[in-house]
Amino acid sequence: MHRSMTTRRSRTAGTLAMGATLALTLTACTQGSTTNTDTEPVSGDTGSTEEQVTVRFMNFSANDGHEEDLDGIVAAFEDENPDVKVEVQTLPYADYFTALQTAVAGGTVADTFELNYENFVTYASNGALAELSGVDAGPYKESLLEAFTIDGVQYGLPESFSNVVLYYNADLFEAAGLEAPTADWTWQDEQAAAEALTDAEAGVWGDYQPVSFHEFYKVLAQSGGEFFNADKSEATFAGPEGVDAATWLIQKSGTTMPTEADGAGTPDFDTNLFSEGKLAMWHTGIWMFGILGETDFTWDVVVEPGNTQNASAMFTNGVAVSASSEVKEAAQRWIEFLTASDVTVQTRLDTSWELPPVDESQLSAYLDVTPPANRQAVFDSLDAVVLPPVIEAQQEMQDIVSEELSNAAAGRKQVEQALTDAQDRVNALLG
pLDDT, tens digit, 9 for 90 and up, residues 214-225: 999 999 999 999
Q: CB-based contacts of 192: which residues, under 8 Å, 6+ apart?
A: none
Residue 134 CA to residue 329 CA, distance in Å, equals 11
pLDDT, tens digit, 9 for 90 and up, residues 108-117: 999 999 999 9
Please measure the distance between the N-terminal and C-terminal CA atoms of the chain and give it in whole angstroms: 38
pLDDT, tens digit, 9 for 90 and up, residues 170-195: 999 999 999 999 999 999 999 999 99
**Among 136, 134, 115, which Cα is nearest to 125's?**
115
Domains recognised in the chain with CATH numbers? 5-162+314-380 (3.40.190.10), 164-313+387-430 (3.40.190.10)
Q: Are 335 and 319 a contacting pair, CB within 8 Å?
A: yes
Report CA-CA distances (Å) from 209 to 26, 70, 213, 285, 366.
Answer: 41, 35, 12, 11, 26
Give the model's pLDDT for residue 15.
39
Ranges of residues in the chain with a pLDDT under 70 are 1-50, 261
Residue 133 CA to residue 320 CA, distance in Å, equals 12
Residue spans of beta strands (DSSP E) within 19-128 = 39-43, 49-59, 84-90, 112-116
pTM: 0.83
Q: How many CA atoms lie within 13 A of 134 on its CB side?
A: 4
Give the model's pLDDT for residue 40.
54
